[in-house]
Structure 1
Amino acid sequence: MVKRRCKGPQSSLPIDIIRDEILVKLPVKFLLRCRCVSKSWCRIIDDPSFASNHYKKCQNNQEKTRLLVLEPPDMCVAKQICAIRNGGKFRKLSKIGIDVTWFEQYQAVGYVNGLLCIKRYLKETQISQILLWNPSIRKALEIPCSRFSNDLQIRYDIDCAIGYDQVKDDYKVVASVVIQNGLYIPSDVEVFTLHTFSWKSVNVRRGPWLWRKDSPKVFLNGVIYWGALHVLVQTTLKGRFSHFMSFSVSNDTFNCIELPNNEQIHEWEYERFPIILDQSIGLMKVFESCSQIWVLEESKGKEQTWIKRFNINLQLFKKCIYFKMDGELLFAGEKCGVNSYDIKRQETKVLAKSYKLSPFYICVYMESLALLKGVPKKATYTFPPHGTVQSG
């Protein structure tokens, strides 16, 4: 069997060796430089299958696990910092300074496979842009305006989330209009598809579930989950939220999942939000004196039931920063420090003794080549490069 050989500078090596043994192991910043070596190398790196294999390599390598932290804007220096930190020690590896003006800020609403969905706000409440940003390649795409911005002449906000269709290798953004703050019943829901670079309306059953604006959302196995409240359910029995709403990215359908009752009816339940634990959808319930973690599991009859897995005797409300799917909980410590709690080992460690600002948004970050190719020609890149990139 005759192997094809690369026509570039490394012509003595077969293409499959270059692709599978060399390039796939390089960081994204080096791959971007390698695209300029030859046309054959550029074709390899731009191939969507190569981008997928490269991301899987990073995902399976715990040493490459990073944390992305989007901090609140600092108006004294007209910057909003996005920092990449070590996943184990919280040490800053690099940062991106995003130029902002007065009353301007960027809010992250979701992260999937290296791609961050961001809303740009002006005058604190008025949304002006929705962006898909890949910090690895320092590029972002501005999503075109949906029908929402054309039909409404009053101040409004858009609650949105991002998901990934693995079968079609496509990213989607689900958006609903919010006239008021807090809880709302969505009247219009639209879905943006990256491959078509357009919006479409989707059907959602009106009520009786109230959605909460900018509630925590998680994405798992093609489904987006977030909290909702049934208008007829007593909050003393179900807590702050009675259901999880879910959206299937593959077939654009909504569903709801009933949450377990509040066991500690005599204690105020501060918060409920979805988490991912061991590749299963979970629920974190935060009380005044402790926290509980429940997992949705399938029984022998193939019916899903909620099982309580952990009881955490830590008062983490107003301190909880982020829950990693491997069971590590990041929370604010004394003097604005950052601590880690392993729910399985019941171990606590200090990651940072001091941290100047409370994180605005934090997520597990993996390097990705998303948005490098396959984007429609009518799409335009925006949002930093005007920002500055610095080493940590």
Structure 2
Amino acid sequence: MPDLPQELIVDILTRLPVKSILRFRCVSKSWLCLIASPHFIKSHLTISTKVNNHARHGLLLAPIDAPTELYTCSLYSVLYQRSPVSAEKVQLPLQSKYPRLSFVGCCNGLVCLSEGSHDLILFNPSTRKSNVLPNSGIDVGKFKHMTYGFGYDEVHDDYKVVAIGYSCPYGMNCQTIVNVYSLRTNSWRNIQGYEGGFISSCSGVFVNGALHWLVVSEDGSISSWRIVSLNLATETYGEKLQPNYEKGNVAFTPGVLEGNLCVFYNHYEVKFDVWVMKEYGLKESWTKLACIPYSVNFKGRASPLFVSEAGEILLKHDYSLMLYNGKVDIFTNRDLQMQGANYPGAAAVYIESLVSPHIDEVGHKTCAQ
């Protein structure tokens, strides 16, 4: 397309899926440089997030019966394909001898993973690029309880990983350490810890420029659980008021659905409520998205992953995936075909992007020559 204006070429390419764009890098040096440019990558990401369908989303799976493997498939096929969905195996540069992969978080097409040895990896499932992060500097022998979070600092155009370690010998005199990794500097540094209680072991949920955890007071009172946020730009803590949920024997799990902060309330043996904060920071905007009753097919051990255009909720339930239609109260199991594995132990929805998991100047040097 030598006669087309550069602006039109950019407009066409940014609307294509990542797989197609990667093939076009071979067209010419100018196209290679264009596709590798930060402006193009951001433009493609912006369009991908605005596309009103699920074709630009993928599902990353970590099987419980193959702990060293990762699989990926299109979210669209999981939501709408009637036949079993085939998932493709992907490779990662695993560091430990016996890794146990778990998801820390997803942001702009990057997925942060932790291994059993507390190694951390940034991975782009669309480009298959990965980056093993340097050690956090936290003594995991002393701070045996670790939790992490991953998100994007828009103010400084930087991706950050937060590592939080706890040491509570004999349940008393607990110590906390919080270190933050910056992708831009490829280094860790220590910041002030949260002093109002203990952050739960679940990974931080990234919404609106901040990571969110559930925190319990120092006396361990369940009634005092609350949502604490860490702004990644200012690296300051705040609190978000919870919805007016029913009290009782309840377990709380934070999450994100449709870009909104969520809390999942598991009323043991009774029901599973999904609450969504429609307007960030506004308590009155909490809305109950679904109330899923316990049944033979549903025991409450679930993680909502996505909401379809029809309002169905994709759930990671025990070691399977299912769709829940609240209008007719029906569960539909989604069969996955993973060569060498059968049971998804963890699942995460990501958006297709060209965002690099490391600061790579090689492409820019090539273009500058």
Task: Sort the TM-score into its range (normalised by shorter chain).
Answer: 0.7 to 0.9
Structure 2 Cα separation of the partners of residues 349 and 281 of structure 1: 24
Asked whether the equivalents of residues 124 and 357 of structure 2 are also in contact (C-alpha less than 8 Å), the reply is no
2:61 equivalent in structure 1: 69
Amino acid in structure 1 at the alignment position of 2:205: V
Structure 2 Cα separation of the partners of residues 370 and 17 of structure 1: 22
Asked whether the equivalents of residues 290 and 311 of structure 1 are also in contact (C-alpha less than 8 Å), the reply is no
Select the residue among 324, 332, 337 that pairs with 2:306. 324
1:198 equivalent in structure 2: 187
Q: Does 1:273 align with 2:262?
A: no
2:121 equivalent in structure 1: 131
Higher RCO, 1 or 2 (CA under 8 Å, sep at least 6)? Answer: 2
Consecutive unaligned residues of structure 1, counting only runs of 5 or more, are: 1-9, 378-392
Structure 2 Cα separation of the partners of residues 247 and 365 of structure 1: 22
1:284 equivalent in structure 2: 264
2:109 equivalent in structure 1: 114
Select the residue among 253, 256, 263 that pairs with 2:239. 256
Amino acid in structure 2 at the alignment position of 1:366: I
Partner SS state of residue 101, structure 2: strand
**Shift, 1:67, TM fit:** 1.8
Amino acid in structure 2 at the alignment position of 1:210: F
Partner SS state of residue 234, structure 2: coil
Q: Equivalent residues in 2 for 1:203-222 (5 A)?
A: 203-207=192-196, 209-213=197-201, 215-222=202-209
Amino acid in structure 2 at the alignment position of 1:53: S
Structure 1 Cα separation of the partners of residues 112 and 206 of structure 2: 13
Select the residue among 341, 348, 353 that pairs with 1:363. 348
Q: Equivalent residues in 2 for 1:54-203 (5 A)?
A: 54-61=44-51, 62-64=53-55, 65-72=57-64, 74=66, 79-87=68-76, 88-89=79-80, 91-97=85-91, 103-121=98-116, 126-127=117-118, 129-149=119-139, 154=142, 156=144, 158-179=146-167, 187-203=176-192
1:4 equivalent in structure 2: none
Amino acid in structure 1 at the alignment position of 2:40: F
The verdict on how the C-alpha distance between 1:261 and 1:44 changes in structure 2, with shifts beyond 3 A counting, is same
Asked whether the equivalents of residues 115 and 132 of structure 1 are also in contact (C-alpha less than 8 Å), the reply is yes
Asked whether the equivalents of residues 116 and 133 of structure 1 are also in contact (C-alpha less than 8 Å), the reply is yes
Consecutive unaligned residues of structure 2, counting only runs of 5 or more, are: 363-369
Structure 2 Cα separation of the partners of residues 260 and 142 of structure 1: 38
Amino acid in structure 1 at the alignment position of 2:98: F
1:309 equivalent in structure 2: 288
Asked whether the equivalents of residues 15 and 44 of structure 2 are also in contact (C-alpha less than 8 Å), the reply is yes
How many residues were matched structurally? 343
Partner SS state of residue 198, structure 2: strand
2:27 equivalent in structure 1: 37
Larger radius of gyration, structure 1 or 2? 1
The verdict on how the C-alpha distance between 1:133 and 1:277 changes in structure 2, with shifts beyond 3 A counting, is closer
Structure 1 Cα separation of the partners of residues 37 and 317 of structure 2: 44
Structure 2 Cα separation of the partners of residues 193 and 232 of structure 1: 34
The verdict on how the C-alpha distance between 1:169 and 1:317 changes in structure 2, with shifts beyond 3 A counting, is farther
1:383 equivalent in structure 2: none
Amino acid in structure 1 at the alignment position of 2:293: L
Amino acid in structure 2 at the alignment position of 1:15: Q
Structure 1 Cα separation of the partners of residues 101 and 289 of structure 2: 35
In the superposition, the TM-score normalised over structure 1's length comes to 0.75
